[in-house]
Chains A and B, each alone.
Chain A
Amino acid sequence: MADPSAQATTTLDALPIGIDGLVVLVVYLLGIVGIGFWGRAKRKEESLSDHYLAGRELGFFVLLLTLFATQYSGNTLFGFTAKGYRMGYAWVMSVHAMTAVVVGYLLFAPALHRHSRDRNYITPADYLDDRFNSRAIRLVCALIMIFATANYVYAQLKVMGLAVGGLTGGRIDPIYGVVGLAVVMILYETLGGMRSVAWTDAIQGFLLLLGFTLLVILVMRQHGTLADAAVHIREHNPEKIAVPNATRCAYWFSMVLLIGLGASVYPHAIQRIYAAKNPRILRKSLKVMAFFPFVTTLIVLLVGLIALRAHPGLDHQSSERLLAIICGDLAGSGSLGYWTVIVILAAIMAALMSTADSALLSLSSMATKDLYGTFLNPTANEQKLTRVGKSVSWVVLALLVWLSSYEDLTLVQLLEVKFEVLLQVVPAFYLGVHLPRLKGGPVLLGMLVGLGLAITLLVMGIKTIDGVHAGVVALAANTLTVLVGHALGSRQTVAAPG
């Protein structure tokens, strides 16, 4: 989930997938479009709440699996396997980071869910505008979140193209792969909005869980257990099993904060909190989510560690292809392995599409409600806004598909700063629900200070300071600004006569 663009170089060209496997994958995609039609049939009215929040009626299983599929993207499978291979046992931090996302929800989701029902929020910035009575905060928050979600969709599209190109052995140009999958996505999203997206996410979430489970079982069967790998790692890569140094520990803390806080304020995640049918369903879903890292990121780490023994000596670039290499091993090991790889590939596609569709839907809602509906056409009614929202999805997706066809886009480097930027809205939400007297001025100032510092550090090429991410340093400055501003404001209020 973090750094999706880092995996844009991943290819699957090592996989010997036949026509039968490709047919299964195409049937799966057509089934997904079918769910789009189902979502349209279930539509109750042409309103923002129905289109973007499924009428606020998501039940337990759908909410759980859509939260899961949205948070665990294609990068969880590709990137985290490679990172586990390169970093070794210290990549246990990825399990902590994904757990931290749910801890983050605990700190603000309950209050936010109730306010969203009382006040009919559609977008994350609806809450901030209402809470702080500030259109400026709505504007800055919406721009930050639109940037972050556009980055997310773009990165998933890029990997989709490479995956399709690789799967077909280069017979299909990556851009046609991107266009094909984007058309599937936009079709079901336009047809049924959040209802279709959440239902397809549920199927994709199930496939992801199945893929993770099969992956670790077959990898252990083929390449030996973790105990075998540990003996090999201690002999050949002792630094990857030794207690990590102070800088690595600081990086560990920072990574947990970066992902835990950043992913908890993903706009599409916040909108799933809004869309929960009731607090009990939200509570049940989040309780289960708290344990998912142990059956997902931990499994991916184990696969990366076992691969250290099965495929030793891969350099950084080659290790990015580790999952493809492992799938290649499995596909050649008999029919069980072959069809498991098909499931894993469907899971990879599922992971890419479920993340991209959720982010795209969220982006469309923010562009429509926070920008168009607030600043450009405040008198537009719900039907008009919903129609505009659907058009925005098509235009934004077309633009991102077009951008994804460029190989060496310098914009890509800018897009990598997603989490660093997104983190700067954290104090507004977390402190907003816990400090009743907090005013909008310090929040806006803190957001701008954090944003400015994060961008400055990244433009200077400073990604970490003593292991701490630039975005986390900027978040500290942001939070400090908000708290100092709040304390000064409170003192003036107390001192003021009357």
Chain B
Amino acid sequence: MHPESDPKAKRLPIWFWLLMVVCLVFAVPWYRETGAQDPIVFGMPIWAITALVSGLGISVLTAYALHVVLQDEGEDPDG
């Protein structure tokens, strides 16, 4: 049999996808007015901080998904 789709792939919960969409939407400042000068916090404008926090959210969600999806056969995901 040729390897095809992944029969052991586990489904991710709906909240995962909702959070991922939120992070993806806010990762790039396409929704902001071009040329706006934001307040600076810790040396970064707010739009850049939003992009970084969204990126961090994507990293956390990716790590979670890897934790859930990539299991050994019979392995407890939390074990």
Contacts and interface: CB of A to CB of B under 8 A. Distances in A.
A437 to B, nearest CB: 8
User: Size range of the interface on A?
Assistant: 35 or more
A253 B33 contact: no
Given A106-B62, A234-B37, A280-B75, A293 B55 contact: yes
Contacts of B63: 287, 290-291
Interface in A436-455: 436-437
A47 to B, nearest CB: 22
B35 interface: yes
User: Size range of the interface on B?
Assistant: 35 or more
Given A92-B48, A230-B43, A243-B33, A433 B6 contact: yes
A111 B69 CA distance: 10
Given A242-B36, A249-B28, A298-B52, A290 B2 contact: no
Contacts of A241: 37, 40, 45
Contacts of A114: 6, 8
A109 B9 CA distance: 12
Contacts of A230: 40, 43-45
Interface string B32-74: 1111111010111101100110011011101101110111100
Contact of A96 (B34, B51, B69): B51
A111 B9 contact: yes
B2 A131 contact: yes
Contacts of A253: 28
A95 interface: yes
A161 to B, nearest CB: 35
Contacts of B9: 110-111
B34 A286 contact: no
A246 B55 contact: no
B78 interface: no
Interface string A196-238: 0000000000000000000000000000011111110010001
B40 A119 contact: no
Contacts of B30: 246, 249
B3 interface: yes
B5 A92 contact: no
Interface string A360-389: 000000000000000000000000000000
A290 B52 contact: no
Given A92-B55, A291-B59, A291-B63, A115 B3 contact: yes
Given A96-B27, A99-B58, A130 B5 contact: no
A434 B5 contact: yes
A291 B60 CA distance: 8
B8 to A, nearest CB: 8
Interface string A117-151: 01100000001001111000000000000000000
Given A99-B55, A103-B58, A106-B69, 9 more contacts: A89-B45, A96-B27, A106-B62, A111-B3, A113-B70, A242-B35, A279-B71, A283-B67, A290-B60
Interface of A: 89, 92-93, 95-96, 99, 102-103, 106, 109-111, 113-115, 118-119, 127, 130-133, 225-231, 234, 238-239, 241-246, 249, 252-253, 278-280, 282-283, 286-287, 290-291, 293-294, 298, 305, 432-437
The 5 closest A-B pairs by CB, nearest first: A226-B43, A115-B3, A111-B6, A227-B43, A436-B5
22 contacts: A89-B45, A89-B47, A96-B28, A99-B55, A111-B5, A131-B2, A131-B3, A131-B4, A227-B43, A243-B32, A243-B33, A243-B38, A243-B47, A245-B34, A249-B28, A253-B28, A279-B71, A280-B75, A283-B66, A287-B67, A433-B5, A435-B5
